[in-house]
Structure 1
Amino acid sequence: MAADNLPTEFDVVILGTGLAESVIAAACSRVGQRVLHIDRRNYYAGNWASFTFNGLLAWIQEYKEQQKATDSDEGWREKLEEGEEPLLLNSVDTSISNLQVFCYASEEPEEEEEEVATPVTIPTLQNPAPPTEEGDTQEHQVEGERAQEEQTTPTEGDTAQTGEPALPNPEVKKRRITYAKILKEGRRFNIDLVSKLLYSQGSLVNLLIKSNVSRYAEFKNISRILTYRNGKVEQVPCSRADVFGSKQLTVVEKRMLMKFLTFCLDYEQHPEEYLDFTERSFWEFLQTKKLTENLQHFVLHSIAMVTPGTHTGEGLRATQHFLRCLGRYGNTPFLFPLYGMGEIPQCFCRMCAVFGGIYCLRHSVQCLVLDKESGRCKAVIDTCGQRISCSHFVVEEGYIREEQRRGVAYRQISRAVLITDRSLLPSETEQQISLLIELCSSSMTCMPGTYLVHLTCPSSGTAQEDLAPVVSRLFTEPTSAEEQGEVGSEKPTLLWVLYFNMRDSSGVDKSSYSLPSNVYLCTGPDPALGSEHAITLAETVFQQLLPDEEFCPPAPNPEDIVYDGEVPQGEGAGFGEPVQPEINEEEQITESEQDNEGSQTDVAAQIPTPAPPTEE
């Protein structure tokens, strides 16, 4: 809808399209609330967004220019009435800082394709485009173009309609990847601003299943978990099959690890084992469990994923949660959405639009209109000078000005995004998605022949200061074009690196802000691997808004919606009261059988409700 022709009254106005805000928008729209969802950016998902490579370059340039931006004019003054006062909002985003870019790829023009004496014929690929719905936003229309490109440009590791993997042509020599090539193939990249995964038993996956939003995205298993130890990258054995199939563990270590993981699954039933360590660190507890140093490292850093100083109770809960996620969708507990994590907020925005929510990008709110007597927000004035009445206002934390913050001290997240020429731990298949978060081209996040690596940690300085030592330890930084892809190099070669800091407001309580009672704050991404905080926050805000309504009830399937004049297919049919047909779970999930190279099963189209997880 045109920004200068919006309705003048809504139940809920939401500013910002991050994950929490998007979930709230979908939940409110689903139960019949009139929702206006706007964002000053020209893309969805805010600091949760995913960009093509060229889009990321534009985002970098935009943030550099924002440092010179000034506040908008004061056209809002004439819209105020007697007994009202304004609460001004920020016009620029200051949550990103210390942006630094390094390009190691050759600046030479792109090399010409080598002619192949004997061309290899590859059958047409079967890559269905993502589903569309009424009310789709312009961002989702790009997905079909992506799928069409991928169909016409088959890559190594793709699977043909026949189910047979497309074999690489042995006569094609691997060419050096230039910066010009990366720019040309920029649309094949989908680079996340935040580095997160989906726990298969986590609150986000459960919400996707419950709300039926999972139909709007596709997912892949994280196929392996990697750790860095004693100067080399190793795969961490997690499931029973991995443990007993591991060649890096001795028979004694396998028994030790299985015994300890079995204990962690129901550790609450054995309080005598850990009560003496409730106030001591998890690291100290592990040292008393007769685990080798090798196993202690695996459990602490790659299974529990906590720091050595973490209390024992928290470490045991994290280990138990990891183990309970095993077996739901594969041998590891994580899923990753094709095209990046930025797809998830857009899925919830799509759901909101389907149920009548109105979206407007490149648009913002200049100020809130407060009633002096009650202190509540009664309206907003947007950047077009329109006054829009609302009962509730939800705002991303980055829009709040300093005068509304009561000495808030923020933490920072250090991020690094790396494009490399090969995997940290090469395997026989090109279908691996690894943690450390390393993504291959089958995740639809990078071009064939490259890998996308995400590094994240709580900040102690700038992102480069925090993460450059890790980068130099794991990767080769070429000083000349000749060094790129040097034969015999043990480490992957860096092609392009981005460092930046992102503000972490997740630990700040709402009481630290001076805001009206009907204004609700959504914080940005936190440094955790999952999205538990954002989903918990979204549900909390929704229950404060509408305490008598269900949070994200299941949406009807499009084929179950009955419009006026149609014959209902069953009792209670209709848009508000959908028929709940019997669903064959086997039809809900498309599984690609593992090929001879051992590629992981993909979870496609939607996430079905699975059988109870098996204990690994």
Structure 2
Amino acid sequence: MADNLPSDFDVIVIGTGLPESIIAAACSRSGQRVLHVDSRSYYGGNWASFSFSGLLSWLKEYQENNDVVTENSMWQEQILENEEAIPLSSKDKTIQHVEVFCYARMCAVFGGIYCLRHSVQCLVVDKESRKCKAVIDQFGQRIISKHFIIEDSYLSENTCSRVQYRQISRAVLITDGSVLKTDADQQVSILTVPAEEPGSFAVRVIELCSSTMTCMKGTYLVHLTCMSSKTAREDLERVVQKLFTPYTEIEAENEQVEKPRLLWALYFNMRDSSDISRDCYNDLPSNVYVCSGPDSGLGNDNAVKQAETLFQQICPNEDFCPAPPNPEDIVLDGDSSQQEVPESSVTPETNSETPKESTVLGNPEEPSE
């Protein structure tokens, strides 16, 4: 049960984003005892990939809980005189201006413990060594560890008061056609729309068809991304209007539409913490490591590089995510103590009557005749 966890781990990971999940897997693979928790009800944090119904549920939860903050001071009773607490944030502010218009398994395989909907109230720091020694969770349990990995959205405003974050503007669209004029119905389109105004940024557009299993047949899923200069809608709507036509009943009957029709759109701004140095955070203990969220890059190279760098700081003499052993080379406990079956007892007999020795060996619990 999540309210009755072991009290001692080697590594505690808070947040289930891509870099945190890679580090958790690597640490567990190298033999570290790993606890991986997330206050959210789903894996991935800001890296999560939702189904459409899951996305609608997330939007509803975001709108309902955006202004709700719950405070629980019971954990303060767990702080001793020679300790101090660094409270963690209970409200995620990494995604803003939401507007809607119409590696984790590997860690578990090697013994890591996962807990969703499990909040951590604070980090417990020793006043003398200035190192983090434990966390206190939502149940008031103190959990000790040597190393602590935290997604940056969990850090409080006091810890991040000197940090200057950049913002990313993003849009997710569902359309009824491709911007690429082709007869092929299976393609991934990537294009870059140059900036038109001073101070604005180029927009990257990625279009996925139904063969990628991201949308229904006859529709396309489109992602637009750029560095923010304003809100996401202000940054990206001009590109959307240039590439797509808003859907209306009149246009639905017109077969001569030149541009694909826009069926649904979501705009939001996301915080980019990929280039933040740990020196920018206030009073961060040396054994607390911060992982950033997604950046504006096309791939995930930065997340993998970040995970490997932090892993080498935690386990300097270990290989980073080595290949799993060959199943034929794995020796399970007790294999060496098993007695070899005599060859004569399993040799097929020409006699139609089954020998008693073979019957006993095949099923020891079956009584002999």
Using structure 1 for the length normalisation, give the TM-score.
0.51
* Matched residue, 1:70: 69
Deviations 1:283-329, CA, capped at 9 Å, x for gaps: xxxxxxxxxxxxxxxxxxxxxxxxxxxxxxxxxxxxxxxxxxxxxxx
CA separation of 1:349/1:566 partners in 2, compared to 1, >3 Å: closer, same or farther? same
Q: 2:251 touches 2:257 (CA, 8 Å); kept in 1?
A: no
Q: How far does residue 560 in structure 1 lie from its aligned partner after superposition?
A: 5.5
Q: 1:421 touches 1:485 (CA, 8 Å); kept in 2?
A: no
CA separation of 1:48/1:558 partners in 2, compared to 1, >3 Å: closer, same or farther? farther
* Matched residue, 1:484: 252
Instruction: Work out whether 1:445 is the aligned partner of 2:214.
Output: yes
Distance 1:42 1:558 in 2: 34
* Matched residue, 1:512: 280
CA separation of 1:512/1:431 partners in 2, compared to 1, >3 Å: closer, same or farther? same
Q: 2:98 touches 2:267 (CA, 8 Å); kept in 1?
A: yes
Deviations 1:473-525, CA, capped at 9 Å, x for gaps: 000013x3231363011110010000000001112111000200000000111
Q: How far does residue 532 in structure 1 lie from its aligned partner after superposition?
A: 1.8
* Matched residue, 2:311: 542
Distance 1:562 1:441 in 2: 45
2:235 to 466, 469, 478: 466
Unmatched tracts of structure 1, length 5 or more: 104-347, 569-616
Deviations 1:242-268, CA, capped at 9 Å, x for gaps: xxxxxxxxxxxxxxxxxxxxxxxxxxx
1:11-160 equivalences in 2 (<5 Å): 11-103=10-102
Deviations 1:439-472, CA, capped at 9 Å, x for gaps: 1111111011110000000000000000000000
* Matched residue, 2:297: 528
The structure with the greater share of residues assigned to helix is 1
* Matched residue, 1:503: 271
Amino acid in the other structure paired with 2:135: V
Aligned residues: CA RMSD: 1.6
Q: Secondary structure of the residue that 1:5 maps to in structure 2?
A: coil
2:113 to 318, 339, 358: 358
Q: Secondary structure of the residue that 1:508 maps to in structure 2?
A: coil
Amino acid in the other structure paired with 2:126: D
* Matched residue, 1:395: 150
CA separation of 1:565/1:55 partners in 2, compared to 1, >3 Å: closer, same or farther? same
Distance 1:477 1:558 in 2: 55
Distance 2:291 2:164 in 1: 16
Distance 2:218 2:136 in 1: 49
- Where does structure 1 differ by over 6 angstroms across 4 or more consecutive aligned residues? none
Q: 2:135 touches 2:143 (CA, 8 Å); kept in 1?
A: yes
Q: 2:209 touches 2:219 (CA, 8 Å); kept in 1?
A: yes
Q: Secondary structure of the residue that 2:93 maps to in structure 1?
A: coil
Distance 1:81 1:559 in 2: 51
Q: 1:93 touches 1:398 (CA, 8 Å); kept in 2?
A: yes
CA separation of 1:558/1:101 partners in 2, compared to 1, >3 Å: closer, same or farther? farther
Q: 1:71 touches 1:90 (CA, 8 Å); kept in 2?
A: no
Instruction: Work out whether 1:381 is the aligned partner of 2:136.
Output: yes
Q: 1:84 touches 1:370 (CA, 8 Å); kept in 2?
A: yes
Q: How far does residue 559 in structure 1 lie from its aligned partner after superposition?
A: 6.5
Q: 1:410 touches 1:504 (CA, 8 Å); kept in 2?
A: yes
Q: How far does residue 403 in structure 1 lie from its aligned partner after superposition?
A: 1.0
Amino acid in the other structure paired with 2:307: A
Q: Secondary structure of the residue that 2:9 maps to in structure 1?
A: strand
1:368 to 123, 126, 137: 123
Distance 2:327 2:183 in 1: 41
Q: 1:3 touches 1:384 (CA, 8 Å); kept in 2?
A: no
Q: 2:169 touches 2:235 (CA, 8 Å); kept in 1?
A: yes
CA separation of 1:33/1:422 partners in 2, compared to 1, >3 Å: closer, same or farther? same
* Matched residue, 1:5: 4
Deviations 1:394-434, CA, capped at 9 Å, x for gaps: 00001111111242111100001000011111433322122
Amino acid in the other structure paired with 1:68: D
Deviations 1:217-259, CA, capped at 9 Å, x for gaps: xxxxxxxxxxxxxxxxxxxxxxxxxxxxxxxxxxxxxxxxxxx
Deviations 1:518-543, CA, capped at 9 Å, x for gaps: 00000111111121211111111111
The structure with the greater share of residues assigned to strand is 2
Unmatched tracts of structure 2, length 5 or more: 192-205, 338-369
CA separation of 1:482/1:563 partners in 2, compared to 1, >3 Å: closer, same or farther? farther
Q: 2:233 touches 2:268 (CA, 8 Å); kept in 1?
A: yes
* Matched residue, 1:434: 189
Distance 2:118 2:183 in 1: 48
Q: How far does residue 16 in structure 1 lie from its aligned partner after superposition?
A: 0.5
CA separation of 1:29/1:408 partners in 2, compared to 1, >3 Å: closer, same or farther? same
Deviations 1:340-359, CA, capped at 9 Å, x for gaps: xxxxxxxx111110000000
Amino acid in the other structure paired with 2:316: P
1:407-418 equivalences in 2 (<5 Å): 407-418=162-173
- Which one has a bigger Cα radius of gyration? 2
* % identity of equivalent residues: 61
Q: Secondary structure of the residue that 1:413 maps to in structure 2?
A: strand
| Higher relative contact order structure (alpha carbons within 8 Å, sequence separation ≥ 6) | 1
